[in-house]
Amino acid sequence: MNKNEKQRKDIKQDSASQDVQQEPQVQPEQQPTAIDEETFVDETALTISEAEAKQKIYTPGMLIRRRFMRRKIAVFGAVVFSIIVLLVLAYFIFGDPQASMRINRAFRNVPPSANFWLGTDNVGRDMFARLMQGGQISLLVGVVAVVIQVLIGMLIGGIAGFYGGWVDNILMRFLEIVQSFPFTPLAITVSAMLGTTVSANQKLLVVIALIGFLSWPGLARMIRGQILSLREMEFVQAAKALGVRDGRIITRHLLPNTVAYIIVNATIGMAGAILTEAALSFLGLGVPPATPTWGNLINAGSDMYNLQNRPWLWIPPGIAIFLTVMCINLIGDGMRDAIDPKSK
């Protein structure tokens, strides 16, 4: 009996030890270490930075350019105007400056040919050379007149909009006086007073001054309206609190916020200046006929015989004026829509 009991006890002990060995050992949960947390944060930041890199950020200038490029008719106008400007500049740089004034009576009223691409006029002058030189003068008038218009408009509009009160009232009354001047009668009076006592270059300067000094009121009124709303904003009040001078606030903080509108107004104003110069020259009130401009080139071929039999005298300058003014207006409309899409 004693042997049997001992054997039973041994068997029980062996089975118990086997059960203990077969029980699965539960591993304690591992807590994330500091290194794992840092790695997780780095991976998350990397994912966010990659997402931001894929999303392109557009500046206001880039947005305006994208909107402008979507308007095919405005892009067409910009391309054609660029071609016209490049042709005029190329002739100015590489062409013969005396070709437009050289008289050759042996080749009077020659139609377009290989030697004379646009024919000759009644004294044998090359019409292509005169068209290119006329383009230089017409574009110069447009650019300089617009520069004068923008400078005066920014000065008057900026001061009137920033100060307001009696300063605004005085400047706006002066603006209305200038705006009330009738341009054509004034141009006729000035031209009659000058007569033939001044040179062609001096008369050209007079035409530029007339156009520039009488066309700024619209731009000044627009800038004044923009600055009246901008001067109440927080960044202007902060500049005043910091003791920034009024002139610096106007030139560094307020006027830059109106540049987009100034560009639109300047492009349309340039087209108007070119048309005005062409009209004055056509009427004989602008640059003297010896100096070619697009306006007096049309005037040279305006009699009935030339209209019917010599179209090369008046069609090329007419097409040049039409294309230039149309393209500038298309660019101005495209810029206006790109800057302010709600203005449609």
pLDDT (0 to 100) of residue 108: 87
Residue 30, classified by CB atoms within 10 Å of its CB into exposed (0-12), middle (13-18) or buried (19+), is exposed
pLDDT (0 to 100) of residue 35: 47
Answer whether 224's CB lies under 8 Å from 161's CB: yes
Domain ranges of the chain: 62-95+118-343
Answer whether 302's CB lies under 8 Å from 175's CB: no
- DSSP code at position 118: T
**Phi and psi (nearest 5°) for 28?**
-70, 145
User: Which candidate, 87, 63, 100, 144, places its Cα nearest to that of 319?
Assistant: 87
The CATH H-level superfamily of 62-95+118-343 is MetI-like (1.10.3720.10)
Provide the residue-wise pLDDT of the chain in tens; the chain has 344 residues: 555 555 555 555 555 555 544 444 545 555 544 445 555 445 555 455 555 555 667 777 788 888 888 889 999 999 999 999 999 999 988 888 888 888 888 888 888 888 888 888 888 888 999 999 999 998 999 999 999 999 999 999 999 999 988 999 999 999 999 888 888 788 778 877 776 677 778 888 888 888 888 889 989 999 999 898 888 888 888 888 888 888 888 888 888 888 888 888 898 889 988 988 888 888 777 777 778 889 888 887 778 888 888 888 889 999 999 999 999 999 988 888 887 765 55
**CA distances (Å), origin 207, targets 238, 267, 294:** 44, 19, 14
**Phi and psi (nearest 5°) for 176?**
-65, -35
**Phi and psi (nearest 5°) for 120?**
-130, 165
User: Which candidate, 191, 181, 189, 261, places its Cα nearest to that of 213?
Assistant: 181
Assigned token pair, 86: 């490049």
User: Which candidate, 281, 270, 260, places its Cα nearest to that of 326?
Assistant: 270
Answer whether 322's CB lies under 8 Å from 247's CB: no
pLDDT (0 to 100) of residue 23: 47
pLDDT (0 to 100) of residue 55: 61
Residues 6+ apart with CB under 8 A from 11: none
- DSSP code at position 117: T
pLDDT (0 to 100) of residue 79: 95
Q: CA-CA distance, 121 to 163, in Å (whole number)?
A: 57
pLDDT (0 to 100) of residue 132: 92
Helix, strand and coil in the chain, % to nearest 5: 75, 0, 25
